[in-house]
Amino acid sequence: MKDVKKKCGMDEEWYVDPVGRSGGMALWWKKEVVINAWHSSRNIIHTSMNSTVLDVPDFVTYVYGAPRDEDKEKVWEDLRRIAGGVTGSWLCVGDFNDMVSCFEKFGSRPIDLRRTLNFQRMLSDCGLIDLNFNGAPYTWNNKRLGEAHVKERIDRATANVEFREKFQNALVIHIEPVGSDHHMLSVECEYKHSRVPKAFRFEAFWIEHEDFLKVVREGW
């Protein structure tokens, strides 16, 4: 992981070690940002953030949702406790391993409504709402074909009202996966729409207009 961090050009680091071959989290950042980790566990890294050169959220929480039902509620309770101590703009992002509606799953069995309601309740209790996104509607797939193919939106970026007020143009971009079954999320706090100028196209029939030469002389 340290070699990957170096190739990405990052300066600072924070790690949560895996248990055997499962789990583990890595957080890297550049020196232009000061990050303090206030809570670190197998599923959550909660940080405060500030910078003198960039406009950043006050708090960012990185989540790896528990895949097993018996562990999920503990993660949700941890997020509720974290929410109680947040004062300012808060971004909460990661692989939550859960969905908020039946429209976030394609294939296989229907979603577990009990799990979905518990997830919705946690987000509501924490005052977190989904950020707008561009890209594929699903962020994970099981890489199987035919009737066995399953796609889900289990990775997302959420934020509180203070964040939405501070970063009104925030946008999440779902980047196509490379060597992974998950899309990568890029959170653009100050997203700027770029407009490509239209190419000039000359129409041959313009020559036949009586003012053609006059317009060309005045334009050039």
* Residues in Cβ contact with 116 at an 8 Å cutoff, skipping those fewer than 6 apart: 98, 99, 100, 101, 102
* pLDDT at 70 > cutoff 60: yes
* Residues in Cβ contact with 33 at an 8 Å cutoff, skipping those fewer than 6 apart: 49, 50, 51, 54, 56
More confident site: 92 or 180? 92
Asked if residue 124 lies in contact with residue 101, where contact means CB atoms within 8 angstroms, the answer is: no
Give the mean pLDDT of the chain: 91
- Alpha-carbon span 30 to 84, nearest angstrom: 28
* pLDDT at 23 > cutoff 90: no
More confident site: 22 or 102? 102
Residue of 156, 73, 148 lying closest to 109 (CA atoms): 148
Asked if residue 82 lies in contact with residue 94, where contact means CB atoms within 8 angstroms, the answer is: no
Report the pLDDT value the prediction gives residue 213, as an integer from 0 to 100: 79
What pLDDT, in 10s, does the model give residues 177-212?
888 999 999 999 988 765 555 666 667 777 777 777
Report the pLDDT value the prediction gives residue 220, as an integer from 0 to 100: 63
Report the pLDDT value the prediction gives residue 195, as an integer from 0 to 100: 58
Q: What percent of the chain has pLDDT over 90?
A: 73
The set of long-range contacts for 68-73, using a CB threshold of 8 Å and a minimum separation of 24, is 69/115, 71/43, 72/97, 72/98, 72/115, 72/118, 73/118
CA 122 to chain centre: 18
CATH 3.60.10.10 fits 2-195, yes or no: yes
Name which of 35-49, 117-131, 199-213 the model is least confident about: 199-213
The alpha carbon torsion through 189, 151, 95, 53 (nearest 10 deg) reads -20
Asked if residue 34 lies in contact with residue 14, where contact means CB atoms within 8 angstroms, the answer is: no
For the chain, what is the largest distance between any 2 Cα atoms, rounded to a whole number of angstroms?
81
The alpha carbon torsion through 122, 152, 97, 33 (nearest 10 deg) reads -90
Report the pLDDT value the prediction gives residue 117, as an integer from 0 to 100: 96
Asked if residue 47 lies in contact with residue 59, where contact means CB atoms within 8 angstroms, the answer is: yes
Confidence of residue 20 (pLDDT cuts 50, 70, 90): confident
- For the segment 118-141, the average pLDDT, to the nearest whole number, is 96
